[in-house]
Chain A
Amino acid sequence: QVQLQESGPGLVKPSQTLSLTCTVSGGSISSGGYYWSWIRQHPGKGLEWIGYIYYSGSTYYNPSLKSRVTISVDTSKNQFSLKLSSVTAADTAVYYCARRTYSSSKTYYFDYWGQGTLVTVSS
């Protein structure tokens, strides 16, 4: 059973960089067909996709956040990470890591999620 676990500071100061890591267990991050993703949810709001990374290092980011986001992967530790720079209060949200599976040319889905971690941006 694949499990994902987010870790990182729960409080970040404005203008600083938010850094989170997702540790994957029960499966290899280097397996093909999976896109390791970050998704956030503002309090009381819907889901917002931040970006994903393939084990090879290829990334794709939400254009609305692209200038501030970096996602990286460490296959030796079976981890992938999120950095979001120049944060403001608007970045306060629950951040989830998730595995996106490519099943066919028409079928993509997030089958495993971390439990989420609340990150508050405040001085």
Chain B
Amino acid sequence: SSELTQDPAVSVALGQTVRITCQGDSLRSYYASWYQQKPGQAPVLVIYGKNNRPSGIPDRFSGSSSGNTASLTITGAQAEDEADYYCNSRDSSGNLPVVFGGGTKLTVL
């Protein structure tokens, strides 16, 4: 399968921890990368590989993976974390080298 499935919307109280998940067969073979996109802006890479953060990404962002599910965890969510989050991977079936999840809208209450 060349699909990555995300929950359309997730909410979290300010300062609490939230996990955003991404499911797909390809995640058994490849790590997911995660992107944050705020309105009117380009996506920004927040997590890649096993659990790597690019320079400038706060350490409250972390990633993990188990079986066919990858997770992005925000520990102590801040108001500025409210955004759309997309997962991305390589398709393991060979049909599509790049596949994105449908995105999760994170609301910080």
Given contacts A47-B43, A47-B103, A60-B97, contact A110 B49 (CB under 8 A): no
Cβ of A37 within 8 Å of any chain B Cβ, yes or no, is yes
Give the one of A37, A47, A49 with max B CB within 10 A.
A47
Question: A46–B103 contact, CB under 8 A?
Answer: yes
Cβ of A96 within 8 Å of any chain B Cβ, yes or no, is yes
Question: A49–B42 contact, CB under 8 A?
Answer: no
For A, the interface residue count at a CB cutoff of 8 angstroms equals 23
Question: B54–A49 contact, CB under 8 A?
Answer: no
Cβ of B99 within 8 Å of any chain A Cβ, yes or no, is yes
Choose one: B48, B99, B100, B101; the contact of A111 (CB below 8 Å): B48
Distance to closest chain B CB from A122 (angstroms): 21
For B, the interface residue count at a CB cutoff of 8 angstroms equals 27
| Residue of A whose beta carbon sits closest to that of B33 | A109
Cβ of B61 within 8 Å of any chain A Cβ, yes or no, is no
Question: B45–A109 contact, CB under 8 A?
Answer: yes
Question: A109–B100 contact, CB under 8 A?
Answer: no
Interface residues as binary, A41-62 with B (CB distance below 8 Å gives 1, 0 otherwise): 0000011110010000000101
Q: How distant is the Cα of A96 from the Cα of B33 in the complex, in angstroms?
A: 17
Q: How distant is the Cα of A83 from the Cα of B35 in the complex, in angstroms?
A: 26
Choose one: A49, A103, A116; the contact of B100 (CB below 8 Å): A49
Distance to closest chain A CB from B107 (angstroms): 16
Question: B31–A106 contact, CB under 8 A?
Answer: yes
Question: B88–A110 contact, CB under 8 A?
Answer: yes
Given contacts A46-B102, A107-B48, contact A116 B88 (CB under 8 A): no
Question: A113–B99 contact, CB under 8 A?
Answer: no
Cβ of B66 within 8 Å of any chain A Cβ, yes or no, is no
Given contacts A100-B98, A116-B42, contact A107 B86 (CB under 8 A): no
> Which residues from chain A sit less than 8 Å from chain B, CB to CB?
37, 46-49, 52, 60, 62-63, 96, 100, 103-104, 106-111, 113-116
7 interchain pairs (CB within 8 A)?
A47-B100, A52-B98, A60-B97, A107-B31, A109-B33, A110-B88, A115-B42
